[in-house]
Amino acid sequence: MTKNNFKSIILISALAVAFVSCGKTTKAEGEGEEEVLPENIVELRDDQIKLANIELGAFQMRSMSGTLKVSGSVGVAPQNLATVSMPMGGFIKTTSLMPGNAVRKGQTLAIIENQDFIDIQQNYLEAKNKFEFAKAEYERQSELYKSDVSSQKNMQQVTSEYKSLKTQVKALEQKLELIGINPSKLNDDNISRTVALISPISGSVKAVNVSIGKSVSASDVLFEIVNSDKLFLELTLFEKDADKVSNGQKIRFFINNETEQHEAVIYQTGKSISIDKTYKVYANVSKSCNNILPGMYVNAIIETSSNQVTALPSEAIVSFEDKDFIFVFDKSKMEEGNSMTEYRMVEVQKGVSDGGSTEVILPKDIDVKTVKVVVKGAYNLLSAKKNAGEMAC
């Protein structure tokens, strides 16, 4: 048994012997009538008060924020997650990437080889040459038609050919851009059977599904790239807590049972309740961290809104039979030559706790401005009272 525990037992035993039980009757000073103490009153002499280390204080108005403990997962916005494919397929000629490699937007991920690339470039250059001739002929025929030298039928044929080739060139330009070839830089001397597969975003490679010589189709996902600089949390709350969160509230969260704390800020709350009576909340991760990856499970603490509440030091509130109580100063008196103090036990309800203080919801007859409350030694009062049989009367 430790020295402190031994002292606590001595203190409680001494107070228990000294307490006046609720069934005990005492004679008031100078009177023959007996005084019966109410059940919720504890009476102590000055020396007993000192022994119990009792201190009086006042209620405080404090700005306190509550917390909600929730769970969820790490997500990434659609614009920060890319699955990369080759629209026309082909064969993988070269690649040097491994999962986890960092890539930047515009970086080459792999070189793809396909003979169809040659056909598209050829068709484009031929169509472009025909279009340039048709354009010149169209302009020439327009001038002749204005001078009544060329017939209307001839003008219509030239116009039709010109517009048809213009459409063909524009369509082939789009196909070239789709596979990663810049039409403005393409000429007869740089036709190539290979094209570079380019990263659409900066980030890290999450998955690599290619190997040298592998045949890939347009529907195959070759690379997955994720940008972990802008992650968010998807948290699940119960329906009853939906009114406790709002945009701008701060969140502290932990991953993989680590002790390192991360921060996030709520940017969106759900607009409906799910079938399982849960509510979704979304928050942006404040700072990037290499340990945080999409899909990870998180435990989070949401700081609820701060309010001015009536509060006491947490040690001033004691629990008994699933109820919470405080002791308040009731009155001082003289009894048989001794100075006595009565403390009244008041049932309260606890609210949020923060920084060693706890919100208390008081009965209507308690005036927080005038009532003096036991802020230290309340547990000693309760313990001695129970041991003396006070609560059993």
For residues 299 and 213, what is the distance between their CA atoms, to the nearest angstrom? 45
Q: Is the pLDDT of residue 6 over 50?
A: no
Fold match flag (3-64+308-392 vs 67-78+227-306): no
Residue 384 pLDDT grade (very low, low, confident, very high; cuts 50, 70, 90): low
Cβ atoms within 10 Å, residue 159: 16
CA distance to 36, 162, 389, 393, per residue, from 24 (Å)? 7, 115, 11, 10
Q: Are strands 194-198 and 108-113 parallel, antiparallel or unpaired?
A: antiparallel
More confident residue, 369 or 386: 369
Residue 163 and residue 94: Cα distance in Å, rounded? 40
Domain ranges of the chain: 3-64+308-392, 67-78+227-306, 89-225
- The second-level CATH assignment, the architecture, of 89-225 is Beta Barrel (2.40)
pLDDT in tens, 127-172: 999 999 999 999 998 888 888 777 888 889 999 999 999 999 999 9
pLDDT band (50, 70, 90) for residue 392: very low
The CATH classification number of 67-78+227-306 equals 2.40.30.170
Question: Over the stretch 45-89, which tens digit does the pLDDT of each residue have?
Answer: 888 888 888 999 999 888 766 678 889 999 988 888 999 999 999
**What pLDDT, on the 0 to 100 scale, is given for residue 228?**
82
Give me 378's structure tokens. 């309340």
Q: What is the mean pLDDT of residues 287-313?
A: 82
Mean local confidence (pLDDT), 302-322? 83
Residue 381 above 60 pLDDT? yes
Average pLDDT over residues 36-53: 83
Instruction: Choose which CATH entry (2.40.420.20, 2.160.10.10, 3.40.50.300, 2.70.70.10) describes domain 3-64+308-392.
Output: 2.40.420.20
- φ/ψ of 379, rounded to 5, equals -65, -35
Largest Cα–Cα distance in the chain?
141
- Please give the full DSSP string across 155-166, using - where no structure is assigned: HHHHHHHHHHHH
Strand 278-285 versus strand 323-335 pairing type: unpaired
Integer-rounded Cα Rg, in Å, for the chain is 41
| pLDDT exceeds cutoff 90 at 91 | yes
Task: Output b/e per residue, 185-203; b: 16+ Cβ within 10 A.
Answer: ebeeeeeeeebbbebebbb
Per-residue pLDDT tens digits for 218-239: 999 999 999 888 889 999 998 8
Q: Which residue has the tokens 């515009």?
A: 106
Which residue did the predictor score with more confidence, 13 or 38? Answer: 38
| H/E element, 126 | helix 115-146
